[in-house]
Chain A
Amino acid sequence: MHYLTFIGRRLLHIVPVLIGISLVSFLLVMLVPGDPVRLVLGPRATDDAVAAMREAWGLDRSLLSQYLTYVGNVVQGNLGDSLKYRLPVWDLIAQYLPRTAFLIGYVLAMTVPVTVLLAVTAARREGDWPDQVIRLLSVLGMTIPVFWLAVIFARLFGIQLGWFPVSGYGEGFLGHLHHLFLPAVSTSLWLAPVLTRNLRGALVQQMDADYVAACRAKGLPERLIFRRHILPNSVLPTLNLLGVMIAFLIGGSVVVEIVYAVPGLGALMIGAVLGRDYFVIQGLTLVYALVTVLVTLVIDLLTAAIDPRTVG
């Protein structure tokens, strides 16, 4: 029961956030220098034509009424049309989003098991050579820039060895796995160390906790104590960091998507920014914000499911 009320309260918190997001994404286009109508019709359009279009688009109405119209449209899934592709923005996003989502899922599937394995190994052998090696590799992984790694991988495994394609998204599930392997590895090599360091730190801290001594006093063997007590108590900070990282990856996948020519949200965003495709930028801003809100929500609900103290 408590958990359900917690979910309810947590969902209520989203409402003001959503209003804020809609305001920002709405004002984004309003505050752009220059007149979007002029941009569409070109500099040589007559004043009458501009006025007609302004009226047609409702730009002559008050800001509030425009905002309400905008929110109404967004709720119905209408994000406007791309100026460049002459397609509904929603259709574009629906086409590009799954690829980025697939890439992020792929990255997580690679990163999470490796992170847990490395962090547990390092923590259990704290100070010994496996710990030292893992810590050294972590620092290395975090310091190498993703774009550089991506370029090197593309050259080595893509062009010289020819093991993996260096561009595109591929056909079918296996095709996706094959095509996105290098982009996913490049991202994982940076993400895994960040998470590993975080989880190892938490594990080492929890291993000294008083309740661990109490478990030993009960006569429980070390393995059981680790699995049942130390690990669940350690994952919470890392889980929250993971949430932040996923939200970051949605927007931050740009680099690998460009290097490996993956037609995902990042690529769409770059194209839209360069082509001043305002409604696509607006739509993407909205989607990025909503996904971030969603990821945070999921992480919070997971945290609450693990830790009864959050529910209160």
Chain B
Amino acid sequence: MSVISIRNLSVTFPGDAGPVQAVKDVSFDLEEGEILGIVGESGSGKSVTCRAMLGLLPRRATLGGRILHHGQDLTQPAAMQAARGRDIAMIFQNPASHLDPLMTIGDQVAEPLIFHFGMSRAEARAEALKLLDAVQIRDAAGRMSAYPHQLSGGMKQRVLIATALACRPKLLLADEPTTALDVTVQAEILALLKTLNRERNLTMALVSHDLGVIAEICHRVIVMRQGEIVESGRLRDLVHAPKHDYTRLLITSQPGRLPQMTDQRPDSAPLIELRDLSLHFPGKGDKVVRAVDGVSLSVRQGECLAIVGESGSGKSTVARAVIGLNAPTGGDILYEGRSVVGLKGEALTAFRRKVQMVFQSPFDSLNPRMSIQRTIAEPLWRHGLATKAEAMDRALELMDMVELPRSLAGRRPGMLSGGQCQRVGIARALALSPRVLIADEVTSALDVTIQAQILKLLTRLRKEQDLTVIYISHDLTVVRKFCDRVAVFRTGQLVESGTTAEVYADPKAAYTRDLIAAAPDLDQALAGVT
């Protein structure tokens, strides 16, 4: 029996250049007890479809078609209000921002019970406690009076799940529920959702950009692109025999299916060495935050070294220390055998020319009011390496190098896609002909198909420019394909390091094993599905 039937759903937003149709004539059914995956890239309409099912679209959106639930059409406000939070509930991408920061966890979970079932506050809180237990929050009784900021990201998502389950809904919508979480936490949350589906016969729609995540728990999958359903069916069938070109592209872009891009070369001399490096910051009260604690590591000439770890592991802090943005509180950083800690003036500038960085957020790291040609040219003339005219010419060459059409030279970042912006960021970093490129989560804000392109570009540039790359990432599957050696970080300490092949084949540390096991991978998940 269908829990919900979407018939010819369309959603239109008013735009500057006329109305924009975000969802076009989409129809599908959700059968009782199944987990349906909705996969697609940014702008595919997957989240809009999901939000439409709960009437969470902004007022300016116009809705067409029908959303049928037990004979009621949920596009009608009264029917939606009756079903919302009771029969259908939802969890969201960023658990931190979806909890009211001023209200205790217990009260937030109890709220729908008080409203929908007319429970007293005490009854509702007693029920909330059971729910927190059910979503496996340790010390649930103690957490009842905690505020959201006192919980970790995974805990917050569990609280949101508990809230969603409060009124025993038949359908749970999950919009990228694990995207903002660390891989090990992601694995736990997915396992929890799977358990809830099995034990409570809870029907789910899971929206994700990550086929690996979808493959972990979904029975059936819908592929969306530009507001339309491109293909649907059992994931296994879809992966083995994709009918649509886009589905094929999506599958070949999965990090696990990318070609091996590592570059096994004989051991070369170390270019950068970290010796017993520590960065401690003053924390709350008398506490000291050991962001990086006694790390010794060397980066060899010409290699691609991955620094992997979860949030708070200190991986970005290490990178910032290398380019001199954070001063170490202990240990030393050597570049070609000479210490670069405490460099000033000319010497620091000269060093920074050699080591350039590309940042995570492609839009935020570019000046929105500057044309991309100027953006790329700026470091050259700022460093006095070229006249402005020469720098502008060189910028065009750099655009060729990162495969950006020259016709985009006069555009501003706002008129480019995320992938194009990231190419601008790379071109700007290459402008000073650096020897080392530090790439800090450069693909994590990008769609998988774009990620595949950027990785290919970086691999080509590495060879052509003889670059040494420090690749900071939380994505173990990408690292496995792209990096020669890997260093695993956890809470400021180096857990393990070695060649990527060795570490993946035979991880020494338990934490590394957990990380590798938790990383969602399409093929492994498919192999596990019976």
Is residue A227 contacting chain B, with contact meaning CB distance below 8 A? no
If the complex has contacts A218-B89, A218-B112, A219-B81, are A229 and B103 also in contact, measured as CB distance less than 8 A? yes
Which of A214, A220, A228, A232 counts the most B-chain CB atoms under 10 A from its CB?
A: A214
Is residue B511 contacting chain A, with contact meaning CB distance below 8 A? no
Is residue B320 contacting chain A, with contact meaning CB distance below 8 A? no
Is residue A309 contacting chain B, with contact meaning CB distance below 8 A? yes
If the complex has contacts A219-B112, A308-B149, are A214 and B102 also in contact, measured as CB distance less than 8 A? no
How many angstroms from the CA of A306 to the CA of B147 in the assembled complex? 12
Is residue A28 contacting chain B, with contact meaning CB distance below 8 A? no
Q: Assess the B115–A211 pair: CB atoms within 8 A.
A: no
How many angstroms from the CA of A232 to the CA of B100 in the assembled complex? 10
The size of the chain A interface, using a CB distance under 8 A, is 22
Q: Assess the A308–B111 pair: CB atoms within 8 A.
A: no
If the complex has contacts A216-B56, A309-B149, are A210 and B98 also in contact, measured as CB distance less than 8 A? yes
Is residue B284 contacting chain A, with contact meaning CB distance below 8 A? yes
If the complex has contacts A213-B56, A224-B115, are A218 and B98 also in contact, measured as CB distance less than 8 A? no
Q: Assess the A217–B54 pair: CB atoms within 8 A.
A: yes
How many angstroms from the CA of A270 to the CA of B85 in the assembled complex? 63
Q: Which of A209-241 contact B (CB under 8 A)?
A: 209-211, 213-221, 224, 228-229, 232-233
Is residue A33 contacting chain B, with contact meaning CB distance below 8 A? no
The closest CB in chain A to the CB of B84 belongs to: A219
Is residue A91 contacting chain B, with contact meaning CB distance below 8 A? no
**Contact code string B32-67 (vs A, CB < 8 Å = 1, else 0):** 000000000000000000000011100000000000
Q: Assess the B85–A214 pair: CB atoms within 8 A.
A: no
Is residue A307 contacting chain B, with contact meaning CB distance below 8 A? yes
- Residues on B with C-beta less than 8 A from A217 are 54, 56, 84-85, 89-90, 92, 164
Q: Assess the A209–B84 pair: CB atoms within 8 A.
A: no
How many angstroms from the CA of A211 to the CA of B90 in the assembled complex? 12
Q: Which of A287-312 contact B (CB under 8 A)?
A: 306-309, 312
What's the least CB distance linking A205 to chain B, in Å? 13
Partner of A214 from the list B98, B116, B166 (CB cut-off 8 Å) is B98
- Residues on A with C-beta less than 8 A from B85 are 217-220
What's the least CB distance linking A161 to chain B, in Å? 47
Q: Assess the A219–B116 pair: CB atoms within 8 A.
A: yes
Partner of B284 from the list A213, A214, A307, A312 (CB cut-off 8 Å) is A312
What's the least CB distance linking A175 to chain B, in Å? 42
* Count of CB-CB pairs between chains A and B under 8 Å: 77
Is residue B250 contacting chain A, with contact meaning CB distance below 8 A? no
Q: Assess the A309–B101 pair: CB atoms within 8 A.
A: yes
The secondary structure that dominates the A interface is: helix
Q: Assess the A210–B163 pair: CB atoms within 8 A.
A: no
What's the least CB distance linking B219 to chain A, in Å? 24
The closest CB in chain B to the CB of A312 belongs to: B284
Q: Assess the A218–B149 pair: CB atoms within 8 A.
A: no
- Residues on B with C-beta less than 8 A from A211 are 97-101
What's the least CB distance linking A188 to chain B, in Å? 29
If the complex has contacts A210-B97, A218-B111, A219-B84, are A233 and B54 also in contact, measured as CB distance less than 8 A? no
What's the least CB distance linking B467 to chain A, in Å? 39
Q: Assess the A232–B102 pair: CB atoms within 8 A.
A: yes
Which of A211, A218, A233 counts the most B-chain CB atoms under 10 A from its CB?
A: A218
If the complex has contacts A218-B111, A224-B115, are A233 and B102 also in contact, measured as CB distance less than 8 A? yes
How many angstroms from the CA of A156 to the CA of B510 in the assembled complex? 83
Is residue B160 contacting chain A, with contact meaning CB distance below 8 A? yes
The closest CB in chain A to the CB of B81 belongs to: A219
Is residue B86 contacting chain A, with contact meaning CB distance below 8 A? yes
Q: Assess the B97–A218 pair: CB atoms within 8 A.
A: no
How many angstroms from the CA of A228 to the CA of B112 in the assembled complex? 13
How many angstroms from the CA of A306 to the CA of B111 in the assembled complex? 19
Q: Assess the A214–B99 pair: CB atoms within 8 A.
A: yes
Q: Which of B253-292 contact A (CB under 8 A)?
A: 284
The closest CB in chain A to the CB of B166 belongs to: A218
**Contact code string A74-85 (vs B, CB < 8 Å = 1, else 0):** 000000000000
What's the least CB distance linking A157 to chain B, in Å? 42
What's the least CB distance linking A132 to chain B, in Å? 18
- Residues on A with C-beta less than 8 A from B112 are 218-220
Q: Assess the A307–B102 pair: CB atoms within 8 A.
A: yes
Q: Assess the A233–B100 pair: CB atoms within 8 A.
A: yes
Is residue B94 contacting chain A, with contact meaning CB distance below 8 A? yes
If the complex has contacts A211-B100, A218-B89, A224-B115, are A309 and B94 also in contact, measured as CB distance less than 8 A? no
If the complex has contacts A214-B160, A218-B112, A220-B111, are A308 and B147 also in contact, measured as CB distance less than 8 A? yes
How many angstroms from the CA of A210 to the CA of B164 in the assembled complex? 15
How many angstroms from the CA of A216 to the CA of B80 in the assembled complex? 11
How many angstroms from the CA of A213 to the CA of B52 in the assembled complex? 12
If the complex has contacts A210-B92, A219-B112, A312-B284, are A307 and B98 also in contact, measured as CB distance less than 8 A? no
Which of A214, A216, A217, A229 counts the most B-chain CB atoms under 10 A from its CB?
A: A217
The closest CB in chain A to the CB of B83 belongs to: A219
The closest CB in chain B to the CB of A210 belongs to: B97
Which of B94, B100, B147, B149 counts the most A-chain CB atoms under 10 A from its CB?
A: B100
What's the least CB distance linking B116 to chain A, in Å? 6
- Residues on B with C-beta less than 8 A from A306 are 102
- Residues on B with C-beta less than 8 A from A216 are 54-56, 84
Would you list the 6 A-B pairs with minimal beta carbon distance, nearest first? A219-B85, A210-B97, A219-B84, A214-B98, A217-B90, A218-B85
22 example contacts (A-B, Cβ-Cβ < 8 A) are as follows A209-B97, A210-B94, A211-B100, A214-B99, A217-B90, A217-B92, A217-B164, A218-B84, A218-B85, A218-B115, A219-B83, A219-B84, A219-B85, A219-B112, A219-B116, A224-B115, A229-B100, A229-B102, A232-B102, A308-B147, A309-B101, A312-B284
15 additional A-B residue pairs with CB within 8 Å, beyond A233-B101, A308-B101? A210-B98, A211-B97, A211-B101, A213-B56, A216-B55, A216-B56, A218-B89, A218-B166, A220-B85, A220-B115, A228-B103, A229-B103, A233-B102, A306-B102, A308-B147
